[in-house]
Amino acid sequence: MSPALIHAVVFIEGFCSLGAEVIALRRLVPHLGSAIVVTAPTIGFFLLALALGYASGGKVKTDFRRVVARNFLAAAALSGVGLSAPAVNGAFAYLQPAWVAYLLVVGGVLGPLAWLMGQTVPILTNELGGRRVGEASGNALFWSTLGSFLSALLLSLTVMQWLGVSAAVWLCAGLLGAGVLMLTSRRRDWVVSAVVVAVAAVINFGRDADSVETAYADYAVKKVELAGFVAPRVFSVNGSTASILDDSDPPRTARYVAHLRHILLDDLAFTGREILVLGAGGFTLSLGETRNHYTYVDIDPAIRALAEERFLGREMEGEFVVDDARRFVAQTTRRFDAVVVDVFSDHHSVPSHLVTREFWQAARQALKPDGVLLANLILDGRLETPYARGVLATLEGVFGRCGVEVLHRGRPLANVVTSCYASSRPAEAPVYTDERNGADVDRIR
């Protein structure tokens, strides 16, 4: 093989191996979130499989091009089919608990794919005859790593942003199929490669027209049946209901959205106020509301157009800012009368960097002195789990005592709306006993 051909093949290997890792991490977000406890083990398993592939590739002694072509063909099938939305979503839908589906996706798809790709450089450096081993392997690793670098940038910043995750999956499968054509002239291999790439295209692009993928989330608008609603529809983000809207006049929305509106418009009687909403959802909090000005912050630039075209059927009311919620509140010089926190990464998880003391402190800084912070959280209805206790304790450690309202007490997981005021301060509370009871004095004070 010519050095140029070898470098082209290892470039494809680097591009598609890291591409598969990026895609796998993105596919896991709707089901497990993007917390470090998910991403770190996934990266670790990927690197372990890659290392085992290096060792296996070093033991291959003959038929170098044919072995790599076979590996590319298998990897094309694993990526094009195994990392498709139907395959990953189906695994989490039918395999419970979730860690079983996770092991299938990572151990049954991503790991074998990384193992196959890891064999490429050790095998093909055998074809670089007449060169020092260090020079041959160094050049091959350069082109492989360059492919990985470009994959990380191209897939996340371009392909997933504009064409969706499924397009990134098919691109990797297509490149691996092209690699097979570069490695072998056997017609049978060419036919099988074409079939694999075609099947990957059908699986990844033959999806529900109501579903849209971006680099950050899976979106869908679905019609549902709800008592008391007129032709209701759901705006789904990463498989969970972000907003509900119907054709009533005025339109009905999700219960927690109606509750937030009640607090802002009725209890607090806001008029002419500035309200910051972290997490756009379906933009229903400001729907038809002209008394106040709303600023929505969401990390996904595509969510506004999707919500307006497929869910609201009209332009959203207010201002839309594309940014990370924590970065926005930490850097903004604007001060708001209310900050509404309504950010989720999967079915019931607030991103972990948005429940820390540092985040709540930054959110407090974005409030006016008499402002209020409202947070929609998904916690257990009894507030008994360590997570529920930890989130509420952290929040009250910054704001002091907050109002806590559980909207769905009969469910294992419920919307919990907290109300915290910038004027409040955390302090130790007295304990009343029969021996020392200061309740009457404190009430007078």
CATH number at residue 22: 1.20.1250.20
Q: Is the CB of residue 376 less than 8 Å from the CB of residue 260?
A: yes
> In this predicted structure, what is the pLDDT of residue 430?
79
Q: Does residue 97 have a cis bond before it (omega within 30 degrees)?
A: yes
Whether residue 201 sits in one domain with residue 297: no
Q: What phi and psi values does residue 422 have, to the nearest 5 degrees?
A: -65, -25
Structure tokens at 39: 């991403």
Beta bridge partners of 277: 296, 340
Cβ neighbours around 112 below 10 Å, total = 16
Whether residue 41 sits in one domain with residue 8: yes
Note whether residue 65 is domain-resident.
yes
Query: Roughly what angle, to the nearest 10 degrees, separates helices 64-77 and 111-118?
Result: 160
Whether residue 286 sits in one domain with residue 145: no
Q: In this predicted model, what pLDDT tens digit does every residue of 176-231 receive, in sequence order?
A: 999 999 998 888 989 999 999 999 999 988 766 667 888 888 888 989 898 889 99
Whether residue 187 sits in one domain with residue 120: yes
pLDDT per residue, tens digit, the chain (445 aa), is: 788 899 999 999 999 999 999 999 999 988 888 788 899 999 999 999 999 999 999 999 888 999 999 999 999 999 999 999 999 989 998 998 889 999 999 999 999 999 999 999 999 988 876 567 777 788 889 999 999 999 999 998 899 888 889 999 999 999 999 999 999 888 898 999 999 999 999 998 876 666 788 888 888 898 989 888 999 999 988 878 888 999 988 899 999 999 999 999 999 999 999 999 999 889 999 999 999 999 999 999 999 999 999 999 999 999 999 999 999 999 999 999 999 999 886 656 678 888 899 999 999 999 999 999 999 998 988 999 999 999 999 999 999 999 999 998 888 888 899 999 999 988 777 788 888 888 888 778 7
The DSSP secondary-structure symbol of 348 reads: S
- Domains contained in the chain, number: 2
Whether residue 238 sits in one domain with residue 189: no
**429 Cβ contact partners less than 8 Å away, ≥ 6 residues apart:** 401
Residue count (the chain): 445
The CATH number of whichever domain residue 410 belongs to comes to 3.40.50.150
Provide the residue type at 174 as one letter.
G
**17 Cβ contact partners less than 8 Å away, ≥ 6 residues apart:** 50, 113, 114, 117, 118, 148
Note whether residue 438 is domain-resident.
no
Whether residue 172 sits in one domain with residue 242: no
Whether residue 225 sits in one domain with residue 190: no
- CA-based nearest residue to 340, from 292, 294, 389: 294
Question: What is the span of the domain harbouring residue 374?
Answer: 218-421
CA distance 69 to 179: 7
> In this predicted structure, what is the pLDDT of residue 131?
65
Cβ neighbours around 259 below 10 Å, total = 17
Whether residue 179 sits in one domain with residue 230: no
Whether residue 182 sits in one domain with residue 313: no
Question: 166, 184, 207 — which closes off a domain?
Answer: 207
Note whether residue 11 is domain-resident.
yes
Whether residue 256 sits in one domain with residue 157: no
Note whether residue 429 is domain-resident.
no
Note whether residue 285 is domain-resident.
yes
Within 268-399, residue ranges assigned H as helices are 303-306, 325-331, 357-365, 386-399
Whether residue 177 sits in one domain with residue 67: yes
> In this predicted structure, what is the pLDDT of residue 209?
62
Note whether residue 274 is domain-resident.
yes
Note whether residue 382 is domain-resident.
yes
Whether residue 387 sits in one domain with residue 267: yes
Note whether residue 298 is domain-resident.
yes
Q: Is the CB of residue 6 less than 8 Å from the CB of residue 128?
A: yes
> In this predicted structure, what is the pLDDT of residue 319?
96
Strands 233-237 and 240-245: antiparallel
> In this predicted structure, what is the pLDDT of residue 389?
93
Beta bridge partners of 189: none
Helix (H) or strand (E) holding 85: helix 85-94
